[in-house]
Amino acid sequence: MTYGIIGVGAIGAAIVTGLCEGVQDAPSVVVSARNASRAADLASRFRSVRIAKSNQEVIDAASVVLLCIRPQEARSVLAGLKFSSAHAVVSMMAGIPIEILQQLVAPAQSIARAIPLPAVATREGATPIFPPAGAAQTLFDRLGSSIEIPNEVALEATSASTATVCAHFAYLNAISQWLIAQGVAETAARRQVAATFAGLAKHLQADAPDFAELARDHATRGGINEQFLGVLEQARVFDAVDSGLNQVLARLTRR
């Protein structure tokens, strides 16, 4: 099997790295030259990776084509490219439904969408896919595991949920900035916050952790965790989370 990747951004590079780094039977990968420096870096690191001269050459060389381009560039990049009915196509483009993809990559019949995150580079990803079978499942099971999403509406919601990553780091920054304002040295504040939340990561390694139960376990009755949670609830912070996710979902589904 040969994978062809159109759009070698951060996610495309992470997929290539996961497929090839430290793997004896790495598959053949053909990448587009759109991001020349990143493509050159991957080709220099992995013997099974080569750079195509054009996007059409990527398609012609591949049995599975991965679309890692930005959604707003989908039509301009894919216009005029020729796919075959034998191609399997996996799109990483948020907000571009399969109905539109069918038009852009016709006559290809095997079309799927996926929402990979950088952890695929170390084969620790858990990647939502729809439909939950075929080339997408094979690829992302190889890069950790795939999460079967039952329909495209649910996939869009899953995609929207990934918009919370930046807010997570902003939350940690707010805590560290508060510590600095209380007189803790900046480096010490960052280390302490990082250690606190990194230490909690072990609770997330279950197949499907119960977040509500974890919250209860860490909220001793009458304790400071319960007090702080109460402040956030009174401020309706979690209602704002719902509202923000609804707005992101609306943006994705308007595309």
Q: Is the pLDDT of residue 29 over 80?
A: yes
Which pair of tokens denotes residue 124? 């620790």
The amino acid present at 17, given as its one-letter code, is T
Beta bridge mates, 29: 3, 49
Query: How far is Cα of residue 107 from the mean position of the Cα atoms in its chain?
Result: 27
**Contact partners, residue 39, CB within 8 Å, separation at least 6:** 8, 31, 32, 33, 51
CA distance 55 to 96: 19
Q: What is the mean pLDDT of residues 197-215?
A: 89
Strand-strand pairing, 125-130 and 110-114: antiparallel
Q: What is the mean pLDDT of residues 117-122?
A: 95
Q: What is the mean pLDDT of residues 115-125?
A: 95
Q: Is the pLDDT of residue 255 over 70?
A: no
Q: Give pLDDT, residue 203.
A: 87
The amino acid present at 14, given as its one-letter code, is A
DSSP summary character for residue 131: S
DSSP summary character for residue 233: H
Instruction: Say what the alpha-carbon torsion angle 236, 238, 242, 247 is, to the nearest 10 degrees.
Output: 70
pTM, 2 dp: 0.85
Q: What is the mean pLDDT of residues 84-96?
A: 95
CA distance 81 to 71: 16
The pLDDT confidence band at residue 110, using thresholds 50, 70 and 90, is very high
Q: Is the pLDDT of residue 132 over 70?
A: yes
The pLDDT confidence band at residue 133, using thresholds 50, 70 and 90, is confident
Which pair of tokens denotes residue 185? 């040295």
Question: What is the chain's alpha carbon radius of gyration, rounded to the nearest angstrom?
Answer: 21
Chain segment 168-200, per-residue pLDDT in tens: 999 999 999 999 999 999 999 999 999 999 999
CA distance 85 to 73: 23
Average pLDDT, the chain: 95
Q: Which residue has the tokens 């009174």?
A: 234
Q: Is the pLDDT of residue 204 over 90?
A: no
CA distance 138 to 170: 35
**Contact partners, residue 53, CB within 8 Å, separation at least 6:** 33
Task: Count CB atoms within 10 A of the CB of residue 148.
Answer: 11
DSSP summary character for residue 202: G
User: 23 to each of 18, 28, 40, 42, 126, how far by Cα in Å?
Assistant: 9, 12, 19, 14, 19
Q: Is the pLDDT of residue 202 over 90?
A: no
Q: What domains are defined for the chain? A: 2-149 (3.40.50.720), 163-253 (1.10.3730.10)
